[in-house]
């Protein structure tokens, strides 16, 4: 019996999330929606940084590209949100894919710095290509309507975000426990050995970059709809630290950890909203403390104390009904096995 | 042509003006265990690295199963039937032993982004097959009970064995082994000896071993190639090589060779 | 022609500053094989400390300089102890994230202590603000002071690395940490010294820059990127390379700003970094690839 297993806890959280709106005021619904959006983003980033081990700092840029693309397609080209949104996400995914090319030649520090430089360049474009992006002041996006459904925008957007988050969570959850997920971890833990087993580095890295770009793009599109406004300062350096803090605090290399991390960080962010300087100190310190003392993040702590939170990298079939299926009692033929 | 599963012809490679390998010729027959020995700095690991595609030679050809592999990516060469183990443990630390083994099946399996993410039947079927094959491979090397343990929980010798199994599960035609015996105790050495023979006899896999543990080389290898300072100085059955004066000189120097002859 | 020479002068001056920041990177990288993501924040923090000492408390310039550099040195040593030493054997992801965290802590601290996001502090110039004529070019004396200061600092460090025992030990550790250990060099102290020195150089650059620019908490990252661009252009393991890289980046930026558009100036570090890393990661004068301890 594992009452507090991951499945049960997540289902409970989901139920709470679904039932939340009637009990929440406007601000609380806003924060909840924000959490859901960042959950999406954190899952994608964790796949790239935590699973595939690619130290990339371009996530805030892709978040921004998703938001800008979604917004600009509506404002400049008159598209409806429902057409602009998937396109925005795809554009962010493509940009992510493009970033995987330098990732082949560069690794570790060089990759971190080049993606950081790329993120800065993206900010620059948002700020200075004023004819298209409206510059530093940003721009408003057209109001979103969920007609013919009888829901108002905040509610509709909340449920849309939630549905997308659940779907993409499940997708990621399946993905990491598969040949693809194992290829990611192989590239992270031993590139040369992975290659010797036939893992194509370019394809694997491209996939990881593309996925994180897509997830960030989806999050960005939703974000632009939520605020009805897009401006460069939402996607700056501070955002980058925020994203990294989410996956480090939640737990690198864990899909559930991303959910946890996003929740914790957003709540903290709102609590500290009044003092930007304090936010920087707290999130910076969180990064340092977790990296030094809690490398596995919160999820590692949970895994140690509560049963049912394992995240295997393979599809674990449900155990047969007979109890002796447990720890392998196969006879080890040679004595190679003992220590 | 001969039943050569791997041929190296007139291989030359250097780095930054320093010649590391010159004029290397190698013919390895199918099902053979070939030893590759030589003093430190002879270029043995470089030769393995060139064969598996990590470095590109300046000159020469490498033919695996009839296909030339010079200039291809390591993952492409792996997919043509080449496996490799390394001096230091290269088990994937973030996985269990079983997951490591399943990764070894990467090139024979096809589950991709969509079938994995959407959890299609195809994926479930393939995962079950992979799991079974991985368990069988673990049983072959006697490591079944470690299937669900994290790779890092194993001792050095155990990791070594699992790594060999992981390379084998992909059914390569040739496996390059870089000092498989390093750091093993006498007992483990005997087990490794037996394992290598079993691999050759039951699986028909060709092995090329870099080794410094001469006892293992003499016992298990069908043929031995000796490298020294980037050139091949001897090639033949173990006993012949052991008594070859060029080999003795390469290892021990001229003076000792003279003393050895005198005694 | 006048525009060109003005831009050149301006470019060389800012280039000298970038060179200093780049030197800081190279010093740390040579010894430890990593890039300290907090380097820009050391620069910023020392600049603020200098402002506090000189402007708020009226300490004279020379003493301010010394104290700010000392503060930088301390910050560097602290960072090494907190972020590098415990993680030296870990993977690169942890190391980078730890230094990023420290960078943000410093940034937040500076914001809390010295001002909000929109506050720009000005530092009075050392010399008279009246421009003087050097040949045909109009030059602000502070720019000359900056150049002179930079040259002096570089000379000091060249001597340090070539002549002093500590400097030679740092070179040895950079070349081969294991061998250095074997001959009795306390490599852990060397790492601390490297971080501290790198930060001290950044602090010196900040105090020199302060009269020429306005100080604000976000200035750190801008100089980080530019300093890194300069360092990587020159070759991350080459001290003279850092100087060359800095000058080139400064001049290129100045020219681009003058002849194309001023907004392009902020884009220059990105362009430089991408071109260098894609075409020749070892930079102009760099030798071996970056090695980790």
Task: Determine phi and psi for C236, rounding to 5 degrees.
Answer: -65, -10
Mark whether B193 and B64 lie in a shared domain. Answer: yes
Q: How far is CA A90 from the centre of its chain?
A: 16
Residue of B nearest to A338 (CA): B158
Per-residue pLDDT tens digits for C265-280: 878 888 888 888 877 7
Q: Would the CB atoms of A336 and B195 count as touching at under 8 Å?
A: yes
Q: Would the CB atoms of A277 and C116 count as touching at under 8 Å?
A: yes
**First-last CA distance in chain A:** 33
Number of domains in chain B: 2
Chain B positions touching A337 (Cβ under 8 A) are: 142-143, 145-146, 158
Which of B83, B94, B158 is closest, CB to CB, to A189?
B94
**First-last CA distance in chain C:** 49
Query: Is B21 domain-assigned?
Result: yes
Of A88, A50, A5, A28, which Cα lies nearest the Cα of A254? A50
Query: Is A279 domain-assigned?
Result: no
pTM comes to 0.88
- CA separation, residue A263 to residues A14, A40, A163, A269, C218 (Å): 13, 11, 17, 10, 27
Query: Is A221 domain-assigned?
Result: yes
Of C160, C157, C266, which Cα lies nearest the Cα of C204? C157
Tokens standing for A211? 């996925």
Residue of A nearest to B127 (CA): A315
For residues A285 and C105, the answer to whether their CB atoms sit within 8 Å is yes
Would you state the pLDDT for residue A248? 94
Half-sphere exposure of B91 (CA within 13 A, CB side): 29
Q: How far apart are CA A13 and CA B171, in angstroms?
A: 46
Chain A positions touching C93 (Cβ under 8 A) are: 49, 53, 55, 252
Q: How far is CA A1 from the centre of its chain?
A: 31
Mark whether B198 and B76 lie in a shared domain. Answer: yes
Query: Is B41 domain-assigned?
Result: yes
Mark whether B52 and B102 lie in a shared domain. Answer: no
Q: What distance in Å separates residue A50's CA from the closest CA in chain C?
A: 9
Q: To probe the interface with C, which of A288, A289, A297, A300 has the most C CB atoms within 10 Å?
A: A288
Mark whether B128 and B140 lie in a shared domain. Answer: yes
Mark whether B8 and B74 lie in a shared domain. Answer: yes
Chains with 3+ CB–CB pairs under 8 A to B are: A
Query: Is A329 domain-assigned?
Result: no
Q: Where do we find the tokens 């000298």?
A: C16
Which of A175, A312, A336 is closest, CB to CB, to B116?
A175
ipTM of the complex: 0.87
Please list the residues that pair with B33 across neighbouring strands: B207
Interface of A with C in 130-169 (CB under 8 A): none
Number of domains in chain A: 1
Chain A positions touching C265 (Cβ under 8 A) are: none
Query: Is B248 domain-assigned?
Result: yes
Average pLDDT of span C157-181: 78
Query: What does the domain layout of chain C look like in residue ranges?
Result: 15-219
Could you list the pLDDT tens digit for every one of the 263 residues in chain B? 447 889 999 999 988 778 889 888 989 998 899 999 888 878 888 999 999 888 899 989 999 988 999 989 898 999 999 999 988 888 999 999 999 999 999 988 888 898 888 988 888 999 999 999 999 999 988 889 999 999 999 988 889 899 999 999 988 999 999 988 888 888 888 888 889 888 888 888 999 999 888 888 888 999 999 988 888 888 889 888 888 877 877 776 655 556 666 65
Q: To probe the interface with A, which of B54, B103, B125, B193 has the most A CB atoms within 10 Å?
A: B103
Q: Would the CB atoms of B155 and A339 count as touching at under 8 Å?
A: yes
Q: To probe the interface with C, which of A123, A133, A277 has the most C CB atoms within 10 Å?
A: A277
Domain range enclosing B147: 93-153
Q: Counting Cβ atoms within 10 Å, is residue C227 exposed (0-12), middle (13-18) or buried (19+)? A: buried
Q: Where do we find the tokens 């100087």?
A: C243
| Domain CATH code at residue B248 | 3.40.50.300
Query: Is B113 domain-assigned?
Result: yes
Mark whether B192 and B110 lie in a shared domain. Answer: no
Average pLDDT of span A34-63: 94
Would you state the pLDDT for residue C193? 87
Chain A positions touching C90 (Cβ under 8 A) are: 295
Q: Which residues contact B190 (CB under 8 A, 6 or more apart)?
A: none
Tokens standing for C64? 């301010």
Domain range enclosing A87: 28-234
Query: Is B165 domain-assigned?
Result: no
For residues A226 and A157, the answer to whether their CB atoms sit within 8 Å is yes
Q: Is the peptide bond before A148 cis (omega within 30 degrees of 0)?
A: yes
């Amino acid at each position: 019996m594992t009452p507090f297993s991951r499945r049960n806890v997540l289902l409970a959280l989901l139920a709470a999330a679904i039932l939340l709106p009637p009990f929440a005021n406007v601000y609380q619904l806003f924060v909840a929606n924000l959490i859901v959006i960042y959950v999406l983003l954190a899952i994608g980033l964790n796949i790239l940084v935590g699973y595939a081990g690619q130290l990339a700092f371009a996530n805030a840029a892709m978040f921004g590209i998703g938001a800008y693309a979604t917004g600009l397609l509506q404002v400049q080209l008159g598209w409806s949100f429902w057409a602009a949104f998937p396109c925005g996400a795809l554009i962010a995914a493509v940009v992510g894919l493009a970033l995987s090319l330098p990732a082949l030649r560069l690794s570790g520090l060089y990759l971190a710095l080049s993606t950081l430089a790329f993120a800065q360049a993206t900010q620059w474009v948002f700020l200075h290509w004023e004819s298209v992006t409206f510059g530093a002041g940003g721009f408003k996006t057209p109001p979103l309507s969920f007609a013919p459904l009888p829901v108002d925008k905040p509610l509709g957007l909340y449920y849309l975000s939630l549905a997308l988050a659940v779907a993409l969570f499940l997708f990621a959850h399946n993905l990491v426990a598969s040949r693809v997920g194992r290829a990611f971890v192989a590239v992270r833990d031993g590139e040369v050995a992975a290659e010797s087993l036939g893992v194509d580095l370019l394809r694997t890295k491209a996939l990881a970059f593309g996925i994180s770009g897509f997830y960030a793009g989806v999050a960005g599109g939703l974000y632009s709809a939520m605020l009805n406004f897009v401006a460069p300062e939402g996607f700056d350096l501070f955002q980058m630290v925020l994203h990294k803090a989410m996956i480090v605090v939640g737990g690198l290399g864990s899909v559930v950890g991303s959910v946890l991390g996003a929740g914790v960080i957003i709540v903290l962010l709102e609590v500290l909203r009044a003092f930007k300087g304090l936010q920087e100190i707290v999130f910076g310190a969180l990064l340092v403390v977790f990296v030094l003392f809690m490398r596995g993040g919160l999820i590692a702590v949970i895994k140690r104390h509560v049963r049912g939170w394992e995240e295997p990298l393979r599809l674990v079939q449900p155990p047969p009904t007979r109890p002796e299926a447990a720890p392998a009692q196969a006879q080890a033929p040679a004595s190679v096995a003992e220590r | 042509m001969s039943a050569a599963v791997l041929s190296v012809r007139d291989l030359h490679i250097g780095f930054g003006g320093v010649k590391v390998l010159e004029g290397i010729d190698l013919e390895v027959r199918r099902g053979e265990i070939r030893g590759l020995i030589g003093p430190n700095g002879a270029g043995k690991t470089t030769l393995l690295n060139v064969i598996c595609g990590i470095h590109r030679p300046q000159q020469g050809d490498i033919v695996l199963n009839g296909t030339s592999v010079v200039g291809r990516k390591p993952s492409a060469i792996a997919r043509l039937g080449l496996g490799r183990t390394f001096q230091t443990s290269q088990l994937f630390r973030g996985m269990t032993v079983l997951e490591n083994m399943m990764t070894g099946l990467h090139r024979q399996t096809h589950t991709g982004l969509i079938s994995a993410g959407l959890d299609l039947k195809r994926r479930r079927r393939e995962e079950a097959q992979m799991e079974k094959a991985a368990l069988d491979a673990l049983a072959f090397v006697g490591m079944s009970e470690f299937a669900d343990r994290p790779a890092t929980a194993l001792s050095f010798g155990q990791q070594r064995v699992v790594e060999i199994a992981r390379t084998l599960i992909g059914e390569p035609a040739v496996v390059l082994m870089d000092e498989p015996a390093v750091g093993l105790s006498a007992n483990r050495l005997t087990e490794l000896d037996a394992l290598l023979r079993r691999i050759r006899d039951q699986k028909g896999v060709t092995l090329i071993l870099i080794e410094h543990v001469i006892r293992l080389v003499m016992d298990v290898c069908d043929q031995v190639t000796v490298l020294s300072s980037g050139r091949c100085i001897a090639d033949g059955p173990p006993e012949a090589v052991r008594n070859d004066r060029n080999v003795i000189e390469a290892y021990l120097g001229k003076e000792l060779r003279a003393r050895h002859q005198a005694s | 022609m006048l525009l060109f020479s003005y831009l050149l002068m301006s470019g060389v001056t800012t280039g000298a500053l970038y060179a200093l920041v780049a030197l800081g990177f190279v010093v740390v990288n040579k010894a430890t094989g990593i890039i300290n993501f907090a380097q820009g924040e050391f620069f910023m923090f020392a600049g603020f400390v200098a402002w506090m000492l000189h402007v708020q408390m009226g300490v004279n310039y020379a003493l301010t300089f010394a104290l700010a550099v000392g503060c930088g040195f301390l910050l560097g040593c602290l960072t090494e102890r907190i972020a590098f030493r415990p993680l030296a054997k870990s993977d690169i992801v942890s190391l980078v994230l730890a230094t990023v965290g420290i960078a943000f802590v410093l940034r937040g601290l500076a914001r809390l202590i010295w001002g909000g996001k929109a506050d720009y502090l000005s530092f009075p110039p050392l010399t008279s603000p009246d421009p003087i004529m050097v040949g045909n070019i109009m030059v602000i004396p502070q720019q000359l002071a900056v150049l002179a200061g930079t040259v002096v600092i570089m000379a000091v460090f060249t001597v340090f690395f070539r002549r002093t025992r500590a400097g030679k030990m740092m070179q040895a550790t950079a070349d081969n940490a294991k061998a250095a250990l074997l001959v009795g060099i306390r490599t852990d102290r060397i790492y601390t010294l490297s971080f501290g020195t790198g930060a001290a150089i950044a602090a010196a650059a900040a105090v020199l820059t302060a009269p020429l620019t306005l100080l604000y908490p976000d200035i750190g990252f801008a100089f980080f990127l530019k300093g890194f661009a300069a360092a990587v252009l020159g070759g991350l393991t080459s001290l003279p390379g850092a100087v060359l890289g800095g000058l080139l980046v400064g001049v290129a930026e100045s020219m681009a700003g003058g002849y194309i558009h001023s907004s392009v100036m902020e884009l220059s570090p990105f362009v430089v970094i991408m071109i260098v890393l894609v075409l020749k990661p070892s930079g102009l004068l760099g030798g071996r690839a970056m090695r980790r301890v």
